[in-house]
Amino acid sequence: MNNGEPTILQNDILSVTVNSTSPESNVLFASQPVNQSVNGVYEREGYRVNETGTIKFPVLGKVSVEGLTISQAQNLIESQLNKYVKNAIVNIKFLNFRVTVIGEVNHPSTFTVSNEKINLLEALGLAGDMTAYGKRENVLLIREEDGRRIMERINLNRQDVLSSPYFYLKQNDVIYVEPDKAKSVEVSNNNRLMPLVVATISAVAVLVATVLK
């Protein structure tokens, strides 16, 4: 089964904290907990992974973290820091791990995930689950990977969905729940009925006006 541990990508924002026996070192290496607005979204300031896949870290300079899991990045920075700081313990978290759920769900939105590990069912739960019209057998997952847009159809009625490489989500994934045919028919019928309803109301209004005269 896919363990779902995400890897670090370009433009990710990382919180990196260092704990050691030196309080001065802890302050020097800490991410700044200041809120900043990016495109109207407030997020904590941290270390941004640039286009070369690196972060600029105090003392160490450029550290290549793209493609690493959080635990791998922690081990890498710890090994480099131990040349300068005794018994350094590094803790890294994503600050911009978000997924978007749209379509036939009760509360479509973009959700920030604090624990950096979320699966498809949990994301649907955050969105209030599917509506009665949602197609469980044809959920669309949209993912940006290596500069390419991947679109994958997922059948939630199949037991092997749990072992799918797309069951666990990555940062910036978009889930789209399509409506089934029943909703399409209902919308179509409503569209056909609306002119009849308007015409009937208009006829009644004319009749009432005539009687009142």
Query: Distances from the Cα of 168 to the Cαs of 74, 119, 149, 150, 172, in angstroms?
Result: 22, 4, 17, 15, 12
Q: Cα separation of 210 and 202, whole Å?
A: 12
Q: Give the CA radius of gyration of the chain.
A: 26
Identify the band that residue 176 occupies on the pLDDT scale cut at 50, 70 and 90: very high
Mean pLDDT calculated for residue range 143-172: 90
The whole-number pLDDT of residue 182 equals 66
Q: Cα separation of 111 and 173, whole Å?
A: 10
DSSP string computed for the chain: ------B--TT-EEEEEEE-S-HHHHHHHPPP--EEEETTEEEE--EEP-TTSEEEETTTEEEE-TT-BHHHHHHHHHHHHTTTSTT-EEEEEES--EEEEEESBSS-EEEE-SSS--BHHHHHHHTT-B-TTEEEEEEEEEEEETTEEEEEEE-TTSGGGGG-TTSB--TT-EEEEEE-HHHHHHHHHHHHHHHHHHHHHHHHHHHHHHHH-
Task: Give the CA count within 13 Å in the CB-facing half-sphere of 179.
Answer: 10
Mean pLDDT calculated for residue range 170-175: 93
The whole-number pLDDT of residue 183 equals 60
pLDDT digits (tens, 9 = 90+) for 3-40: 668 889 988 999 998 888 877 777 777 655 435 544 45
pLDDT digits (tens, 9 = 90+) for 133-152: 999 999 999 998 877 899 99
Number of other residues whose CB lies within 10 A of the CB of residue 137? 13
Res 1 pLDDT > 70: no
Percentage of the chain lying above the pLDDT 90 cut = 50
The whole-number pLDDT of residue 191 equals 56
pLDDT digits (tens, 9 = 90+) for 76-115: 999 999 888 888 899 999 998 999 999 999 999 999 987 7
Q: Is the dihedral of CA 184, 153, 168, 5 positive or negative?
A: negative
Q: Which amino acid is at 128?
A: G
Beta bridge partners of 38: 41
Res 123 pLDDT > 80: yes
